[in-house]
Chains A and B, each alone.
Chain A
Amino acid sequence: MLPSRRFTWSMVLIYALLIIGGIVVFYPFFYMLMNSVKTGPEILHSPTSLPRQITFSGYQGVFERLNMLLLFRNSLILAVSITLLNTFLSALAAYAVAKIPFPGRDQLFGFMLTTMMIPGVLFLIPTYVMIYRLGWVGQFHALIIPSAVSVYNIFLIRQFMVSIPDEILEAARLDGANELLLFWRVILPLSRPALATVAILNFIGSWNDFLGPLLYLNQPETYTVQLGLYQFKTSIPGENAQEIWAATTLITVPLILVYFFLQDQFMRAFANVTLK
């Protein structure tokens, strides 16, 4: 089981398996890219072969018929506002439970941990009833406000913040900084790794969210990229093949690029582990 640096047949086998795995994982991405530059009939009749001739008419169609810019705008409004609000408010609460020993803090933190155990499906219907009665259905804040802070993210940031030495805080307090200033000037910069984790989870989560927009943003002018792609795909089955692959590529490639640059942060966010 120890890593070895000698050439052996078992090393050959290991690399052969790793390469096969890599091809299987990468192929669907390749399939998506390849079909996005084919013509419609070619996608339907020979989906697995390489494009005979590269065409970008699918991408053109996406902007003309799917109103891609509007979809991107809506998804960005959601993802950016949820990411900023949730990361900030979760960090604020995390700082209080990590570093300010106010009476009742431990009980409050215990209560937070309990709320984390409740499966999300329980909230689906009653939250819809509530948002419906408030008249928020069809408006962005129906999704933004309930996501403005979350216990799981408070927990993640808190776990990081407890390791910040108290001496740093005491020194700043002696210099006359109030807690708000301290939070903004000292705590937030020191907590950058935890904030990156939470920001990534927030952004990917809201960008990829399907059920939320399906319930609350079900009018064409408020469609997000995910909902727009779904509606486009199911409205006329078998049609629009070119546009579907072009749209799929456009939605996915920006995320993949960000992932390539921040892969360590992504692994920490999604798997909660640090790898060298």
Chain B
Amino acid sequence: MKRIKAFIPYLQTYRREITIGIIALLVTDFISLVIPWLLKSFIDLLPQKPSGSELAWYAGMLFLAAVGQAVSRFGWRKYLFGPSRKIEVDILNKLFQHLQTLDKTFFQNHKVGDLMSRATNDLRAVKEFLGLGLLVALDAVVVIIAAIALMIYLNPQLTLYALLPLPLVSILFFGFIKTIGVRHTAIQEHLAKITSMVQENLAGIRVLHAFAQEENEKKRFDALNREHIARNMHLAKLFGMFTPSLVLTIGIASLIAFWVGSKAVIAGDMSLGAFVAFNGYLMMLAWPMMAIGFVINLTQKGLAAMGRILELLNSRSFLVVSPATIPANSLRGEIEFRELTFRYPGEDNPVLHSLNFRIEPESTVAVIGMIGSGKSSMAQLIPRVYDAPESSLLIDGHPIQEIPLDRLRRHIAYVDQDPFLFSTSIRTNISVGREDATDAEIDDMVRCVHLTPDLARWPQGLNTVVGERGVSLSGGQKQRIALARALIRKPEILILDDAFSSLDIETEATILSNIQRLDQAITTILITHRLSVARQADQILVMEQGRIVECGDHESLMKNEGLYQRMYTNQALAQEMEILLQ
């Protein structure tokens, strides 16, 4: 009930349309009850040799009724289905907006596939429940009550006999639907297995072909698909019973009506017209009887789906919302970590242990360390992808949470190793950084990130569309576009999280010196695996297992003979080797 309540406001937006729709539905039901009655009167009239005009009157009445019915049917289709489709759009928009407020923790706990399925399949179930479900329920109730009332009026005894098998329809329907659902899920799960086997085969095709595993894989796939047949047939047998048994039950009801009714007609207890009309009403009951099962099913699905959607709508960002009081029209770019210990939300073990350091405005700090040493975790705290514990991270001397989030992010640019590009043109991707950027500014940035040679190769230049997530681009091109997008914001703090990993060292060096030359005071945090780049920084932080183990400039760290010195020597060797081989 609580779940439905959350969705009522969406219905209320369209209450006028829905009211018209309901009225139209009632009119439709009323007329469909009138039609058998007209036929009854006609048949009963026939033995009295009616005149041509009387016949024409009946034909005309029937036609009018049909037109009326058509109009009212049009009305409820349009005014009941219409709002449900509009509500679908409203909910989806609302959901989209809400998801935008959630932080990374949420998106790490929810796979994109799962979210997509909630936004599409579950939403469809809600739409069907709110539109079709409520409509069918109302329709069924009205038709059942009215048709049974009329049947009783025509012949109470016959009604009793004929209705005997009908509750069975609902029971059958409901029972079947439930089991069908279970077996259907089993099929879907198996289909997912088939999908992942195909996916894995394609992803691992080198291994499979190198080891000549084609035949074995085919056998596996065969077996998997045979199982799929078995599961499908398991459902098919049930489904094969489903419709015929409904038809049979309704058939038996009409058989009873026919058998008992025809005797009643001969005995003179009932007119022939009434007999025909009675059969007509009985047939009208067939659908609502099935509908009861149908509605129950729709409701179950709809409620479950509502639950899943509400779970999303009720999710909250882990980022602290505190009264953001600092205006922060610009930042100086001073960053201070104060005894910062950080664990990811929901985790027990900290990934960062009591970090203490200060980054001066406009200085460059390099952060180095093995994979998993906590470099990115640390960097992501600065644009508040994750939230540092209160008062442990200060920007310009203010606790970071006190700076309004959108302001903070406006002044910080974070570029990671595998940047996310939108499937639009390169130009649009760059101007995401700042929408009012002029073409000249964009061109400047393209030069700054050394993208000009690449652009020359594309006939459409900056207007080249990058394809889904930039599939048509190389890793290095993506990284440079992302960098241009970041720099065009004129950030006061620039975080480069292994942002040049796909570029060669020379290009990286060129770009870095280009950035230095920009007419902009930037505090740079440079996370890198390349120590020849790191050595240029004002300050180098060496991280290991979430701790800063060494800190200083290149000279002092080399004298230290610690991790930095070891890593540096190894890399220099590898680099010399590469140079030698070039």
A binds B: no
